[in-house]
Amino acid sequence: MSKAVDIYGASVRGPRNRREGRANQDAWARSSGPFGDLVAVCDGMGSRPAADVGARAACEAVKKAVRLWPGSAASADPTHLVRLVETLWRLELSPRTASECASTCAFALREPDGHVLIVGLGDGLAVVRRADGDLLTLGGRSSESFCDETLALGTPHRIDDWWIATEPPSSGRTLVLATDGVADDIDPTQLAGFVDWLANDIGRIAPAARWRRLQQELRDWPVPHHVDDKTIAVLREAAGGQP
């Protein structure tokens, strides 16, 4: 991991899967290497029999895809990266079918030159808090849908259903990815405060204790009757920390 970047996150089973003895159907991953720093969150669709497999496979597919991709600094088209993820995900699943493993997928790649590529399919949420306080939001619940309706790997979709954004090199940014179990319950007017809490309160805790604290926060989720698995992943740049 670049010294200019800190990546952390946590994922917990929701009350529904705990009660029914099922695995966490969310997954998250981080990875660092010559390609830069990567963070991903994926949410297997609860109605599919191998949703947990699909979510973990999506994280693995993203990790493999970024190693193959030449990077936006080389002017590569991000849709090629998306196609790689789609193909590698299917290979990861084999012999299971895509349909039984459907999963949303959201990830952010901070390239060595400081470009950040933010990509997703489905109702996962990505938020970038820039150093000047501006907030960029991608994904989340579409306005025409109700909860539990989402596009995903393994459901019919087109390449342009993926949301893609590129942030130019900068520093002091915080990027948060969250599955819908978290994103749907965040008050939109409090989104900036939520990101700042993750960056400034949670982010300052030592790594081992931080993971436990974040797990506990997700388990003690304060919204009545919540049921979903919950996953948050954070990529935080140091202020003035351009490589």
List interacting residues with another protein (CB under 8 A). 16, 20, 46-47, 141-149, 184-187, 190-191, 193-194, 197, 201, 217, 220-227
How many whole angstroms from its chain centre is CA 241?
Answer: 23
C-alpha of 134 from chain center: 20
User: Is the separation of the CB atoms in 125 and 68 below 8 Å?
Assistant: no
Nearest-approach distance from CB 58 to another protein, in angstroms: 21
Smallest separation, CB 90 to another protein (Å): 25
Contact 238, 200 (CB under 8 A): no
Alpha carbon distance 170, 67 (integer Å)? 23
Query: Is residue 43 exposed (0-12), middle (13-18) or buried (19+ Cβ within 10 Å)?
Result: buried
- 100 vs 184, beta carbon nearer another protein: 184
Please identify, using beta-carbon distances, which residue of 31 and 103 lies nearer to another protein.
Answer: 103
- In whole angstroms, how close is the CB of 10 to another protein at the nearest point? 13
Shortest reach from residue 146's CB to another protein, in Å: 5
Of the two residues 168 and 222, which places its CB atom closer to another protein in the complex? 222
Tell me how crowded residue 68 is: count the other CB atoms within 10 A of its CB.
Answer: 11
In angstroms, the Cα distances linking 144 to 140, 149, 166 are 12, 10, 26
Nearer to another protein, 19 or 80 (CB): 19
Name the minimum Å distance from CB 148 to another protein: 4
Nearer of residues 3 and 225 to another protein, judged by Cβ: 225
Instruction: Answer whether 122's CB lies under 8 Å from 42's CB.
Output: no
User: What are the tokens at 237?
Assistant: 């740049």
Say which residues have a Cβ less than 8 Å from residue 208's Cβ, sequence separation at least 6: none
Are the beta carbons of 146 and 176 closer than 8 angstroms?
Answer: no
Shorter beta-carbon distance to another protein: residue 49 or 70? 49
Question: Nearest approach, Cβ of 199 to another protein (angstroms)?
Answer: 13
